[in-house]
Amino acid sequence: MKIKLLLFSFLALVTIILGCKESVKPKEAVIEEGPIMKMPITTASPQAKKTFLTGMEALDMGRPIDAHETFVQATQRDPNFVMGHLMSALTADSFEEFLTSFKRAETISARASESENILVQIVRANLDNNVDKALELSQQLVNVNPESPRALLWLAGGLEGVNKNVEAREVLDQAIAMAPDFVPAYFQAGNNYMFNEPKDLKKAEEMFLKAAELAPEEANSYDLLGDVYRSQGDLEKARDAYTKAAEYSGADGSPYQQRGHVNSFLGDYDAARADYDKSIEMGRSNQKAAFAVYKAYVNIHAGKPSQAIKELEAIAAETSNTSSMLFALSSAYWIALHHNMHNKAQSIHNLWKTIRMQQAELGGTEELLRNGKADVVYREGLLACSKRQYNTANAKAEEFAKLVEPDADPRKMERYHQLKGTIALEQKSYNKAIEEFQKGDIQNNMYVKYLLGKSYEGAKKMEEAVALYNEVATHNFNGVGEALARQEVLPKVR
């Protein structure tokens, strides 16, 4: 879910849609030293604080489910523990659970310190799509806690959210210099270099190798090394790294999921399905549904979109977790839309819209309701375009623009331009499509890069098109857009 992913980015987590890195039970933190905080932790209960620090240790090492269980225990020991409730929210596996914990933290935030209040306000600002305010508050958090590397991670996350990636790296360098043994700083820096422009895969590898040196018995260290080897195109080495991650993961099935991705890219679909089955068998919380969604993607790689949709609809019908429902239905929608299955895309969208708007209404604010409506309108515009109803599609684009206009977010118009670009591409106005897609999320979204490549190809600018197709084909990460684009461009670059 978009909100959850954004919030997790501030915690230096490596998330795969719903958060999938954890072990069989929380590892006990060294409480005498504790995970590096250098920020106030306001609680009347020493036991609650000790439990909270255990949760932070798990979270730092990329085990959010373990962390969540421990944060909940901390709030049981002190019901007025603001940070306990806030971190329970940020590690929750459903939007409903997130809201319950966050609203409690917000209600009692006056009991806490200035720093803790700032953290609550950062989360609220992100919920309200006020990215500018969130970034301002993150800088304020650093000003109040100038010796806290953890505060610097929040600031770096805020900068990453507005694509100020070089500035974020400078902040992460400060955190590492301040605390050379602070593992999550290396995790976050490595991910920045690996995924964000300008990319530096060698630097990302250096960061993850250092993390593995500092935390040699943590599965996440090797999981992230597998990710960077994927980025470098060394899929066999990535598979070996995920296998090593599994050795340290206890009852955590996520390394098998990761290995399933690699086997999908290698075209070994039977091995991929076996790995996904293993991860589903081991899955905790809402992981089973999340892992099953990725298993369905194998059918995209194998050129069987209808089978993928069938599996995804079954997942949505079988889970009771609304975030998992939206994940499965959203994936099915994009597959149907990509393959011009108009009736199927419409029926899936109708169900997704109902759940999405129920979730938005549950949030209880005008901002969340507008955000939900914007999501719906954007998809309706794309569907109208696919049906060649261009007047409707253009009207939806303008409606989307009005809905996001109040947001203090420099990236708020990216999807507007992506919709306008799609309309231009379908109408064979290739130069117009190029102009629009270049204003979209081409830094982070491989499917948008693929559409930009199609626009260049239509404009007979093959050098630019092939460069983008090669980037899409070698991305080696597994989302529905990546899988759809990869399956189509591979024949063009071989």
Q: What is the pLDDT of residues 418-430, one digit of tens each?
A: 999 999 999 999 9
Cβ contacts of residue 312 below 8 Å, gap of 6+? 293, 296, 328, 329, 331, 332, 335
Stretch 454-473: mean pLDDT, rounded? 98
298, 230, 289: which is closest to 260 by C-alpha? 298
pLDDT at 34: 63
- Residue 15 confidence class, pLDDT cut points 50, 70, 90: very low
**From CA 161, how far away is CA 10, in angstroms rounded?**
9
Q: Are 358 and 32 in contact (CB under 8 A)?
A: no
Stretch 468-493: mean pLDDT, rounded? 96
Per-residue tokens: 443 = 């830094």
Per-residue tokens: 196 = 């964000």
437, 462, 445, 490: which is closest to 303 by C-alpha? 490
Distance of CA 176 to the CA centre of its chain: 24
**From CA 2, how far away is CA 16, in angstroms rounded?**
12
Q: Are 308 and 335 in contact (CB under 8 A)?
A: yes
- How buried is 399 (Cβ within 10 angstroms: 0-12 exposed, 13-18 middle, 19+ buried)? middle
Per-residue tokens: 55 = 């949760």
487, 477, 10: which is closest to 201 by C-alpha? 477
Stretch 42-55: mean pLDDT, rounded? 96
Would you list the DSSP string of 317-343?
HH---HHHHHHHHHHHHHHHHHTT-HH
- Residue 494 confidence class, pLDDT cut points 50, 70, 90: confident
Mean pLDDT of the chain: 93
Residue listed under structure tokens 């200035």 = 114
**From CA 283, how far away is CA 387, in angstroms rounded?**
39
**From CA 459, how far away is CA 86, in angstroms rounded?**
50
The tens digit of pLDDT for each residue in 320-344 reads 999 999 999 999 999 999 999 999 9
**From CA 20, how far away is CA 345, in angstroms rounded?**
28
Q: Are 241 and 225 in contact (CB under 8 A)?
A: yes
- How buried is 41 (Cβ within 10 angstroms: 0-12 exposed, 13-18 middle, 19+ buried)? buried
**pTM for the complete prediction?**
0.92
Residue listed under structure tokens 């081409």 = 442
**From CA 469, how far away is CA 461, in angstroms rounded?**
12
The tens digit of pLDDT for each residue in 120-163 reads 999 999 999 999 999 999 999 999 999 999 999 999 999 999 99
Cβ contacts of residue 267 below 8 Å, gap of 6+? 301
Stretch 345-374: mean pLDDT, rounded? 97
Cβ contacts of residue 230 below 8 Å, gap of 6+? 238, 261, 262, 265, 476, 477
The tens digit of pLDDT for each residue in 241-285 reads 999 999 999 989 999 999 999 999 999 999 999 999 999 999 998
- Phi, psi angle pair for 245, to nearest 5°: -60, -40
pLDDT at 27: 36
Cβ contacts of residue 79 below 8 Å, gap of 6+? none
331, 307, 273: which is closest to 482 by C-alpha? 331
The tens digit of pLDDT for each residue in 211-230 reads 999 999 999 999 999 999 99
**From CA 332, how far away is CA 344, in angstroms rounded?**
9
Q: Are 286 and 321 in contact (CB under 8 A)?
A: yes
- Residue 35 confidence class, pLDDT cut points 50, 70, 90: confident
Cβ contacts of residue 220 below 8 Å, gap of 6+? 14, 21, 61, 62, 63, 187, 211, 245
Q: Are 260 and 275 in contact (CB under 8 A)?
A: yes
Residue listed under structure tokens 């007979």 = 460
**From CA 264, how far away is CA 482, in angstroms rounded?**
12
